[in-house]
């Protein structure tokens, strides 16, 4: 499979994954998550009004957890689709890069793997607070940035040629 085919098929697959995730999230999770955020915050201040400091603290901890999960779930949806679109655009314009096919293959794989791993690591943070999800997200974003930097250099080489 050529680098272009890889990026096109990989990008569209990632876009479908991101959209399916977003659709599932919007139908089954988002409203409940927003309700939980609002309810726990309100309960925290109602407990404070009742001078119940333990209740207030517990409710705010619930708010913190619900918001932590909500922010990451929205980020995953946005980043998967955004990265998918970027991959497809780069796939279409890959012949503008002044580098050999072997390098193009490496850049394409790095971008595709990074774009899958980075949001996956963020999503995994909602299941585990350990170091592994964070390491996966950092590895993914590092791969994306490295691949993009390589592509910028390839584009500059082509323009100077």
- For 63-80, give one letter per residue: b (16+ CB within 10 A) or e: beebeebbebbebbbebb
6: helix, coil or strand? helix
Binding mask 3-22 for other proteins (x = CB under 8 A): -xx--xx--xx-xx--xx-x
Q: Which residue has tokens 């407990």? A: 47
Pick from 29, 92, 106, 132: which binds other proteins (CB under 8 A)?
Answer: 92
Pick from 100, 128, 152, 157: which binds other proteins (CB under 8 A)?
Answer: 152
103 contacts other proteins (rule: CB under 8 A): no
Rounded Cα gap, residues 46 and 56, in angstroms: 8
Quick one: how far is CA 49 from the chain centroid? 39
157 contacts other proteins (rule: CB under 8 A): no
53 contacts other proteins (rule: CB under 8 A): yes
Angle at 113 between CA 111 and CA 115, to 5 degrees: 65
Instruction: Supply the minimum distance, in Å, between the C-beta of residue 156 and other proteins.
Output: 7
Rounded Cα gap, residues 138 and 85, in angstroms: 21
Task: Write out the residues near other proteins by the rule CB under 8 A.
Answer: 4-5, 8-9, 12-13, 15-16, 19-20, 22-23, 26-27, 31-32, 34-35, 38, 41-42, 44-51, 53, 56-57, 60-61, 63-64, 67-68, 71, 78, 81-82, 85-86, 88-90, 92-93, 95-96, 137, 141-142, 144-145, 148-149, 151-152, 155-156, 159
């Amino acid at each position: 499979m050529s680098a272009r085919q890889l990026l096109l098929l990989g990008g569209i697959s990632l876009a479908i994954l991101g959209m399916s995730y977003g659709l599932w999230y919007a139908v089954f999770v988002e409203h409940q998550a927003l309700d939980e955020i609002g309810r726990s915050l309100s309960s925290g201040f109602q407990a404070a009004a009742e001078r119940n400091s333990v209740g207030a603290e517990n409710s705010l901890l619930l708010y913190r957890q619900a918001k932590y999960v909500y922010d990451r779930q929205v980020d995953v949806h946005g980043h998967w689709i955004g990265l998918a679109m970027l991959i497809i655009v780069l796939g279409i314009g890959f012949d503008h890069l002044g580098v050999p096919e072997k390098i193009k293959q490496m850049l394409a794989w790095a971008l595709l793997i990074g774009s899958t791993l980075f949001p996956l690591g963020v999503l995994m943070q909602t299941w585990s607070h350990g170091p592994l999800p964070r390491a996966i997200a950092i590895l993914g974003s590092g791969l994306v940035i490295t691949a993009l930097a390589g592509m910028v250099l390839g584009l500059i080489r082509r323009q100077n040629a």
